[in-house]
């Protein structure tokens, strides 16, 4: 469905991505793991059109995306829930959600989508009139994911949804990501929390200093001794 082929990307002289190959099949949860600075966010930026690669191809359903603007990529159904949440703190929860639907042409179905999203995140329904800035960290993360869902993504891009959250909230959010995927949305999950991410993903890529150093089925990666040492705190 989405393919990155031999991608090289730079920030000025900084070579952020080196010959990256990533393949996301329809219906899967794919995770990209790696430490700070490994190139995870840069990979998402290449997919969403914010960082144009010097080399390589981006293909979505066999169509080349290299020349597409970020707006065009969103309109094709590739929607990111950004790191750090970036919700609108001075709008209500529901206004934030409606803002997520701004690119949709089927305006009549937006109320239905709100109900669908509230089914995934009942807490947001309870708080729908509240200013988003007054939500807890976990609720703000839920709102960011919910707002991305309002755009009806074909692929949902999640940048470190577990960042800064208590383990119990992370578990809840990851369960919801799994449920969203079961209902048919393909997910690309960027994470530092390797264990949780691999537990819900079908396939994983490990990035180090801008390169894919390992990839495989999540079940295999979870028992891989190198990964255990580097990312899962094992021996």
Contacts with ligand ATP, residue ranges (CB under 6 A): 11, 14, 16, 34, 36-42
| Cβ 92 to ligand ATP shortest distance, Å | 29
Q: Which is nearer to ligand ATP, 211 or 228 (CB)?
A: 211
Residue ranges of E strands in the chain = 2-11, 14-24, 29-33, 55-60, 63-64, 78-81, 155-159, 186-191, 203-208, 211-217
| Cβ 43 to ligand ATP shortest distance, Å | 7
Residues in Cβ contact with 53 at an 8 Å cutoff, skipping those fewer than 6 apart? 7, 8, 9, 17, 46, 66
Q: Which is nearer to ligand ATP, 20 or 87 (CB)?
A: 20
| Cβ 210 to ligand ATP shortest distance, Å | 6
Q: What is the DSSP letter of 85?
A: -
| Cβ 46 to ligand ATP shortest distance, Å | 10
Paired with 31 in beta bridges are 189, 204
Indicate if the alpha-carbon torsion angle 125, 184, 7, 68 is positive or negative: negative
Residues in Cβ contact with 112 at an 8 Å cutoff, skipping those fewer than 6 apart? none
Q: Which is nearer to ligand ATP, 77 or 82 (CB)?
A: 82
| Cβ 160 to ligand ATP shortest distance, Å | 6
Distances (CA, A) of 64 to 59, 60, 192, 223: 5, 7, 29, 36
Q: Which is nearer to ligand ATP, 37 or 89 (CB)?
A: 37
Q: Residues of 13-48 as b/e, b for ≥16 C-beta within 10 angstroms? A: eeebbbebebebeeebbbbbbbeeebbbbbbbbbbb
| Cβ 157 to ligand ATP shortest distance, Å | 12
Q: Which is nearer to ligand ATP, 43 or 113 (CB)?
A: 43
To the nearest 10 degrees (0 to 180), the angle between helices 137-149 and 167-182 is 10
Q: Which is nearer to ligand ATP, 14 or 168 (CB)?
A: 14
């Amino acid at each position: 469905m989405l393919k990155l082929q031999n991608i090289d990307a730079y920030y000025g002289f900084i070579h952020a991505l080196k010959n990256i190959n990533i393949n996301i099949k329809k219906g899967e949860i794919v995770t990209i793991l790696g430490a700070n600075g490994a190139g995870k966010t840069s990979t998402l930026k290449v997919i969403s059109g914010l960082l144009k690669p010097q080399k390589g191809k981006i293909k979505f359903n066999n169509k080349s995306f290299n020349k597409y603007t970020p707006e065009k990529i969103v309109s094709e159904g590739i929607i990111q829930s950004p790191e750090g949440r970036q919700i609108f703190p001075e709008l209500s929860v529901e206004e934030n959600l409606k803002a997520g639907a701004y690119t949709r042409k089927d305006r009549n179905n937006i109320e239905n989508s709100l109900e669908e999203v509230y089914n995934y995140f009942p807490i947001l329904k309870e708080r729908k009139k509240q200013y988003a800035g007054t939500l807890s960290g976990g609720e703000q993360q839920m709102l960011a994911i919910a707002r991305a869902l309002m755009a009806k993504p074909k692929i949902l891009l999640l940048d470190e949804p577990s960042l800064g959250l208590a383990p119990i909230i992370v578990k809840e959010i990851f369960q919801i990501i799994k449920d969203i995927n079961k209902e048919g949305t393909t997910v690309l999950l960027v994470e530092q929390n390797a264990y949780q991410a691999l537990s819900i993903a079908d396939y994983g890529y490990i990035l180090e200093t801008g390169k894919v150093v390992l990839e495989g089925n999540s079940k295999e990666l979870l028992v891989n001794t190198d990964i255990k040492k580097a990312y899962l705190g094992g021996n």
